[in-house]
Amino acid sequence: MIMGTVRRMSGVMVAGLAALAVTATLACGHRENAPAGAAAAKHSNKITIAMIAKSSTNPVFLAARTGAEAAAKELSARDSIDVEVQWLTPPEEDGQVQAQRIQQAVNGGADAILISCSDASKVTGAIDDAVNRGVVVMTFDSDAPQSKRFAYYGVDDMKTGQTTMAELAKLMDGKGKVAILAGNQNAPNLQKRVQGAKDEAAKYPGIQIVGTFNHIETPQDAAAEVTRVDNAYPGIQGWAMIGGWALFTRSLLSDLDPARMKIVSVDALPAQLAYVDKGITPVLLAQPVYKWGYVGVTTIVEKLHDGKQPPEIIPMDLVRVTKDNLGPWARQLKAWGFSDVPQQYLDMK
C-alpha cells in the first residue's frame, strides 16, 4: 500500500521538487545580493529601495535600472551607508502585478519604493498602503498623482506631445498630412502626449492629422503599424511618434524616404541614431532615461538619510538630439550603460 501511495504521489512530488531544484539552481547562479538569515536584519545605515518599472523587457527601464544602481553605489561610498536597489519590475506591463510587487516589497522589508505606474488607479491603493506602513514611495516616468507618493520625477507629458508636434510642424513648414504613433492606448501618460500633440497641431491650419495609431509596444509591432498606415494613407508626409518603438528596428530605414517623409520622435536610444544620421528623423526628443533611476534613488536617499524634502514634482527636461549633437549623445548613452551604441556615432565629434 505504501509503495502504491508513493507511486501515485510521485508525479506531483517529483514535479514540485524539480521546480524547487530549478529554483535552487538559480539561487546558486543568479542570487542578487540576497541577505541571509539574521544578517538580513536591517541596520540603521542600510536603505533598501524596491524599483518597479513598467516592464523589464523595455530597454529604457533597463537604463533606468543602471542609473539607480550607479546612484546606489555612489551614495553608499559617499555617505558610508549601504544602499541596495531591488529590481521588482514585472516582465510585461500589468498594473495589478505592480500592485502585488509593491505589497511584496513592503512585506520584504523595503524602506522605499521607486515606481513607474502602468495604471495609476490600479496601484494607488497599494502605494497608500505602503506609505501607511512607513515605506516612502516616489514615482518616475508615469505618475500616480492621487496617491500618497512624496515626489514624482519625469517629463510633462502634455508638453512632450506639444513639443513633438511643434518640431514636426517646423520641419514641414506648417503644412501637410501627419500621423501620430501612440503605443499602448491604455497608458495615461501616452494619452496625455497624444492630446498635447493634437492641441499643438490645432495651432497650424496647414497641418492635417490623418489619425492616431496605437500598437502593441514592441519595435516589430510598431514598425509594422507604420508600414501599414503608410500604405493605407499614401499622402502622409510626417509622423509624430510620441514613443520611439518603431525606430528601434532597422526596417524603416529602408522603407521610408527622407525626401518625402519627416519624423519627430520621443526617445533617443542607440537604434534610433541611424534615423537621425540618414535624415529620416531630423529631431529626436530624448528622455534621459538613466536619470529616472539615478535621480530617483538620489532623491529617496536624501530624504531618508539627510532628511531633505524634495519638491512634489521634479521636472525632467527633454534633450533635443539632432545631427549636430549625435556624437556627444552617443557617448552619453554609452556612459549610461547602453552596450549597442554604433561605433560610427561614438567616433563623431
Partner 1 sequence: MSRIRAVIRHLLGSQETGLSLVVLLLAVALTVLAGSHVDRRTGELVNNFLNSNTLIQTATDASFFAIMAIGATVVIISGGIDLSVGAIYALSGVSMALTLRAAGPLGSGAAVALGLVVALGVGLLCGVLNGALVVGLRVHPFIVTLGTMWVLRGVAFVITHAESLLVPSALTAVTKASLGLGGGLYPVPMVCMLVMTAAGAIYLTRTVMGRHIFAFGGNLEASRFAGLRLDRIQIGVYAVSGITAGLAAFLGASFYGSSSSADGQGYELYVIAAAVVGGASLIGGKGSAVGAMLGAILIVLIRQSIRTLHFDQNYEWIVIGCAIIIAVVVDQWSTRLAARRLMRAGARTQAAA
Which of the residues 161 through 200 are near partner 1 (CB under 8 A)?
184-186, 188, 191
SS3 251: helix
**Does the protein bind partner 1 through residue 259 (CB under 8 A)?**
no
Which residues in the 5-24 window bind partner 1 by CB under 8 A? 5, 7-20, 22-24
297: its cell numbers: 534613488
Q: Which is it for strands 319-321 and 283-286: parallel, antiparallel or unpaired?
A: antiparallel
Q: Considering the complex, state which of residue 121 and residue 344 has its C-beta at the smaller distance from partner 1.
A: 121
**Closer CB to partner 1, residue 6 or residue 335?**
6
- Least distance to partner 1, CB of residue 15, Å: 4
Q: How far is the CB of 317 from partner 1 (least distance, A)?
A: 28
**Residue 92, C-alpha cell as written in the block:** 510585461
* Host H or E run for residue 309: none
Report the residue number, 45 or 103, with the smaller CB distance to partner 1. Answer: 103
Least distance between partner 1 and beta carbon 34 (Å): 4
- Distance, in Å, from the CA atom of 140 to the CA atom of 60, rounded to the nearest integer, reads 12
Does 3 interact with partner 1 (rule: CB under 8 A)?
no
How many chain residues bind partner 1 (CB under 8 A)? 73
CA 297 centroid distance within chain: 15
Residues 6+ apart with CB under 8 A from 98: 52, 54, 90, 115, 117, 118, 119, 122, 123, 126
Which CB sits closer to partner 1, 114 or 283? 114
CA-wise closest residue to 268 among 286, 245, 281, 292: 286
Distance, in Å, from the CA atom of 120 to the CA atom of 147, rounded to the nearest integer, reads 8
* C-beta closer to partner 1: residue 30 or 349: 30
Phi-psi region of 300 (alpha: psi -120 to 50; beta: other; left: phi over 0): alpha
Of 131 and 348, the one with the shorter C-beta distance to partner 1 is: 131
- Which CB sits closer to partner 1, 31 or 349? 31
Q: Considering only CA atoms, which of 165, 162, 185 is closest in space to residue 238? A: 165
Contact positions with partner 1 (CB under 8 A) in 90-149: 91-96, 99-101, 103-104, 106-109, 119-126, 129, 132-135
Of the candidates 4, 205, 234, 307, which one interacts with partner 1 according to CB under 8 A?
4
